[in-house]
Chains A and B, each alone.
Chain A
């Protein structure tokens, strides 16, 4: 009995000690956190993924890969947030900024308005928006020269096409997507000036990004008109396009991330946007202190866009085709071929 009492007493004392310890620990934490915000010595990057989540096998996942690479190489952990509904965008940015992170990368143009609103409230936090432009003294906008990457895949499409007709299927009808189509058309015409270019847009509302059934219908309608290579810049709708291409024995071209694996053997190539590089670079710059606000435009030269060649499409791309595309790539990088940007060209394309 006495033993038990003593045991209990000691036990209670232990609890008190632990409690005191944890209080002290918490106080220390708070102090260090406050220090971090005040001195900004502790470097904490953060990333906000947009709808679709970080494992969307596309844009967000590429951003995630870039952040992971940074974490692996530097050992610096990053904070993250996955948007699951549209109202969370501002909240997420606010929360992260208030907790004193150093740099916040917002993935996707849909977050533009949230960044525009939140950035001025936290002048000491660095904001980065990918795929859109925000003008603020503490905001960096990373955009891609989609037209250059699209030019390459357009050239490859024209090389692979037997009918001389190449198709394009866009998601929502916005200038960004038109820029993809325009670059693609320029590439196709560069290889084959007589190439026919047929373009369709899925819709004019955000549902256009998620309508694979419509994508497959659009692709089939283009195949019926003689198209045999189709480039889909349409988010999830593109899955339907690639499926239709496989069903009908035609070729498709993927977008954003490497989608060659989606339907191996019928995806000719993918137009890559190296979001991973962009995220990695901006984190590194922020860490080194070389981070600058303003707009950064990444093209072929900066390895911001590219085309994908891997085991899945190796058989579709002959050595001659590969050589030709590499030549064109080098010429664009050297500035010998000028690819016209639909957006910079008053929203018109030289090729219709």
Chain B
């Protein structure tokens, strides 16, 4: 029970940046723009967040800076891919490379700490929030325990993310903007014929993408750890992209894919060095491969065919 509680607790912490980045990718890809630059945008956002949160000693300002930074990079992506019909892969990759290079350089130049930002003071970080009644309900069997130890005690961005998922689902499926966004990703010509600007819709989608991606990056440096470190995203952007495909470009399944990745990660951490029944102790390398093996198995066996938005990766040109 203790182990399960601690694992579920970790799942939410680890899943948060994946969910945010996954949803960011969802906005962009459902609008027909491939976003391989999630990793770079997260990294740049993590740097901006860490730097501003340190200077201002305020996590919210840091998060804002993170969101603005990722938004800026998303706009660069939009400018290259939507306005100028550039190759979306190339633009995304360029963002990744630029972010990976410029963040430690700026960090070194500004803070002189070897490519990282200074460790945040306590007031510069998001602190765990104890939800009301967490203490009193702790003794209620199972449910009380789940509430006080798993659901309560996370940082503000985790709860924000929990609100953002239904919001994204609502925007995507119940609003006019959502309809247009999905249409732009599947059949931009039809949208254009209906008198809606494809470019404008894609720009808006990428703006949402930037904001969410910035939150993901900011969470890494301001909430989950304290400060930016070179390459600290460690592939989370790509993992989020995988979760997005795993989740068939839909918000709820993407959330579950992220939770699954996070859960297997938490499991992996707790299985290391623990002798298992029958087989005994398993080598670290194998345990660390578990999340990926599980992903492959699930993708092959249960998820079925993931169909991408039809116009994904194609720049929209009115007539040829």
Contact = CB atoms under 8 A, between A and B. Distances in A.
B224 A213 contact: yes
Given A56-B113, A57-B114, A213-B224, A236 B229 contact: yes
B216 to A, nearest CB: 12
Contact of B6 (A203, A221, A247): A221
B229 A239 contact: yes
Contact of B230 (A58, A204, A214, A236): A236
A217 B14 CA distance: 8
A173 B285 contact: yes
A120 interface: no
B87 interface: no
A210 B229 contact: yes
B51 to A, nearest CB: 15
B270 A221 contact: yes
Given A201-B284, A217-B269, A218-B269, A224 B225 contact: no
Contacts of A240: 224-225
A211 B269 contact: no
Contacts of B108: 53, 55
A211 B43 CA distance: 12
B266 to A, nearest CB: 7
Interface residues of B, number: 35
A243 interface: yes
Contacts of A61: 114
Given A55-B113, A56-B113, A239-B229, A217 B234 contact: no
B272 interface: yes
A60 interface: yes
Given A211-B234, A213-B232, A214-B234, A262 B269 contact: no
A201 B288 CA distance: 10
A200 B272 contact: yes
A239 B118 CA distance: 11
B234 A207 contact: yes
B273 A56 contact: no
Contacts of B234: 207, 210-211, 213-214
Contacts of B14: 213, 217
Given A220-B10, A221-B6, A221-B269, A55 B112 contact: yes
Contacts of A247: 128
A199 interface: yes
A233 to B, nearest CB: 15
A191 interface: no
Contacts of A53: 108, 114-115
Nearest to B2: A224
Interface in B1-39: 2-3, 6, 10, 13-14, 17
A212 B225 contact: yes
B277 to A, nearest CB: 17
Interface in A140-185: 173
A239 B114 contact: no
A215 B220 CA distance: 12
Given A56-B114, A173-B284, A262-B119, A217 B266 contact: yes
B220 to A, nearest CB: 6
Interface in A183-228: 198-201, 203-204, 207, 210-218, 220-221, 224-225
Nearest to B231: A210
A294 interface: no
Nearest to A198: B273
B178 interface: no
B227 interface: yes
A210 to B, nearest CB: 5
B298 to A, nearest CB: 22
Contacts of A55: 108, 112-114
11 contacts: A58-B114, A173-B284, A207-B235, A212-B225, A213-B220, A216-B225, A217-B269, A236-B116, A236-B230, A239-B226, A262-B119
Given A212-B229, A213-B224, A236-B229, 20 more contacts: A52-B115, A52-B230, A53-B108, A54-B114, A60-B114, A173-B284, A199-B273, A203-B288, A210-B231, A210-B232, A212-B224, A213-B225, A216-B225, A217-B10, A217-B269, A224-B2, A225-B270, A239-B225, A239-B229, A262-B119
Interface of B: 2-3, 6, 10, 13-14, 17, 108, 112-116, 119, 128, 220, 224-227, 229-232, 234-235, 265-266, 269-270, 272-273, 284-285, 288
A-B pairs with lowest CB-CB distance, top 10: A56-B114, A212-B225, A224-B6, A213-B224, A240-B225, A53-B114, A236-B229, A207-B234, A211-B234, A52-B114
